[in-house]
Amino acid sequence: MYVKEMVIQSLPLLIICGLGEIIAGSTLSGMTRMLEDIPGLIVVIPAIIALRGNISTAFASRLGSAYHLGIIDSDNMWNEELKQNIIGSLTLSLIMSIIIGTLAYISSIPLGVSPDPIKIVMIVVLAGIISGIILTLMTIIIVFLVFKKGYDPDNITGPALATFGDIITMLCILGAAIFVEVIL
């Protein structure tokens, strides 16, 4: 019976996630001019997308476990456990964004791309923080709704956050790149 429930809960979401990945890819294809104008930006994209997906899904797993253990519930959602998880998730996003931006700059040099280090790090940090805040809020909402409906969060949160993370992160990279281009 568990397999049937898992398929019923996951299959529609996985189909939607496939469509979502097409949107993320379309966003990337629409960034060709920006990728030409900002050398090294293409190096950042896989790393920051993986970063957002990993942090968001780990955060969702921790929240799911806290719900299962009764540490967090719909009546006692905004407790110290949730606050600490939010702070940890956003702090990790900031630190890793700085590291990814720096490594993207360093790894671009041998490829002969030589991006502006301040520009590339600013883009990654802005995109990482903005997408981190959005995905943290989405994670809380998704976990809350999944439990309210009586579904197993392990079947829903991983695929949903990976897909939403890709789309939101691509849009944040695009927005951050446009913003940094305008101010610098």
pLDDT tens string 69-89:
888 877 777 888 899 999 999
Residue 164: name the closest of 143, 147, 179, 181 by CA: 143
Tokens standing for 15?
A: 């189909």
Structural domains of the chain sorted by starting position, each given as residue range(s) with its CATH number in brackets: 43-183 (1.10.357.20)
pLDDT at residue number 39: 78
pLDDT at residue number 108: 86
Tokens standing for 151?
A: 């579904």
pLDDT at residue number 86: 94
* pTM confidence score: 0.86
pLDDT at residue number 4: 83
Query: Where does the pLDDT of residue 149 fall: very low under 50, low under 70, confident under 90, or very high at 90 and above?
Result: confident
CA distances from 140 to 11, 69, 121, 135, 161 (A): 22, 16, 28, 9, 11
